[in-house]
Amino acid sequence: MSILVTGGAGYIGSHTVVELQNAGYEVVVLDNLSNSSKESLNRIKAITGKETVFYQNDINDRAALMEIFQKEKITSCIHFAGLKAVGESVVKPWEYYQNNIAGTLVLLDEMRKHGIKNIIFSSSATVYGDPAFIPITEECPKGTCTNPYGFTKSMLEQILTDMQVADPEWNVILLRYFNPIGAHASGTIGEDPNGIPNNLMPFITQVAVGKLKELGIFGNDYDTPDGTGVRDYIHVVDLANGHVKALSKIAENCGLKIYNLGTGTGYSVFEIIKNFEEATGIKIAYSMKPRRQGDIASCYANADKAKAELDWQAKYGIREMCADAWRWQSQNPRGYGV
Ligand code: NAD
Ligand code: UDP
């Protein structure tokens, strides 16, 4: 009995594979390596001592999926595979819809043909758009997305919901992630963005390691305590453990469930810089820049539902997130690129 982890060589996927193996699950990874390296799987083995069955294939490749479902004894799928760069999605919307939506439709079709109707889907707080209220509960209405990437998440949530309603044999858990940062405590797996990072923490760690000169802060005139954007940063290992808990929920035949995975605490950009500096002793050079298009002022979770129903709660604080992000970056200045 195995869990299929699509996108398992990527940032969140690799950390989830570690926690799944630590919890005793057998894992099969499917990843086309479009945004990851096979080296992450070697690193996983060094951490857990366990073998991961790996297929280098695309979720759009129906023949490959058929082979996997015929060969492996898959009971559930954790579906991370997808393109995730917000800016790129604006420039290449077709590629995002093709990869994320068409790919997921092929995956779901092959799953049901093989009688596998359990899926945990990587959704995002981006589906709330500019949230109607904060802290954001799961009851907060979905908002208008500001880019094609966000729409792929919102649309896939709808597709999965409709499929579960039509066929209640499906167990579907939509996990809405807030802002995952940090890395495994070993410093051997972590986030390895292509090119210049879009997200705050990898940008900060690349400034710290000397790859980038300074951080640009996108706006200090938001309606927040210090004017910079406030987000709910969550340690990637906590996030990974949320998936292990979600698998136990699936085992109860839970039907359709939606959970926020966040800490419930928001930090501003200035607070993140300060915490990073205090956790690492490294000063981060920065300058003020105009607001980034599509950004919102504040976004943080109410994570009570995941606590009550999944028995899951974030354990790591912001200092550990910063220290672990730095350990990964400093030990691997070029990511997995040797
Ligand atoms: P990532 O890019 O590191 O991992 C995604 C993995 O999927 C990569 O290894 C990539 O090679 C693979 N992949 C992409 N398209 C594929 C395809 N067609 N077939 C097979 N493999 C494919 O990203 P991540 O940060 O680990 O994110 C994982 C998931 O979580 C994504 O769906 C992402 O949208 C979602 N998510 C991420 C964040 C975040 O801030 N990192 C926040 C919310 C949601
Ligand atoms: N941010 C910033 N400079 C950067 C990257 C991000 O000031 O180089 C800010 C951004 O405006 C937001 C916060 O940091 O307020 C988190 O941004 P990120 O892209 O990491 O996450 P998201 O906006 O998707 O929640």
Q: What is the pLDDT of residues 95-115, one digit of tens each?
A: 999 999 999 999 999 999 999
Looking up tokens 């035949």 gives 253
Amino acid sitting at position 28? V
**Average pLDDT over all residues of the chain:** 97
List ligand 2's pocket residues with C-beta within 6 A.
179, 198-200, 203, 215-218, 229, 231, 269, 292, 295
Catalytic-residue membership of 233: no
pLDDT, residue 295, reads 92
Tokens 């959704």 sit on residue: 123
Q: Is the dihedral of CA 198, 15, 29, 306 positive or negative?
A: negative
Q: What is the pLDDT of residues 113-122, one digit of tens each?
A: 999 999 999 9
109 by DSSP, 3-state: which? helix
- Placement of tokens 């989830």 in the chain: 16
Residues in the chain: 338
> Which residue is catalytic, options 149, 177, 233, 316?
149
Predicted local confidence at residue 268, as pLDDT: 98
| Distance of alpha carbon 233 from alpha carbon 318, whole angstroms | 8
Q: Is the pLDDT of residue 237 over 90?
A: yes
pLDDT band at 212 (very low <50, low <70, confident <90, very high): very high
pLDDT band at residue 131 using 50, 70 and 90 as cut-offs: very high
pLDDT tier at 269, thresholds 50, 70, 90: very high
Tell me the one-letter amino acid at 276: F
CA distance 96 to 115: 28
Interval 1-52: pLDDT, tens: 999 999 999 999 999 999 999 999 999 999 999 999 999 999 999 999 999 9
User: Which is more confident, 87 or 256?
Assistant: 256
Q: CB–CB of 234/179 below 8 Å?
A: yes
177 lines ligand 1 (CB under 6 A): yes
Q: Which two tokens stand for residue 162?
A: 């409709």
* Furthest-apart CA atoms within the chain: distance in Å: 56
Is the per-residue pLDDT at 338 higher than 60?
no
Å from CA of 200 to ligand 2 middle = 5
Say yes or no to pLDDT of 189 above 60: yes
Ligand 2 midpoint to CA 138 (Å)? 22
Residue 229 alpha carbon, nearest atom of ligand 2: 15
What is the distance in A from the centroid of ligand 2 to the CA of 178? 12
Nearest-ligand number for the alpha carbon of 215: 2
Three-state SS at 178: coil
Q: In terms of Cα–Cα distance, which of 254, 222, 212, 260 is closest to 239?
A: 260
Mean pLDDT of 59-84: 98
Query: Among 91, 94, 99, 134, which Cα is nearest to 293's?
Result: 91
Confidence of residue 180 (pLDDT cuts 50, 70, 90): very high
How many C-beta atoms lie closer than 10 Å to residue 231's C-beta? 24
Ligand 1 probe mutation, 33, 55, 80, most atoms within 8 A of CB: 80
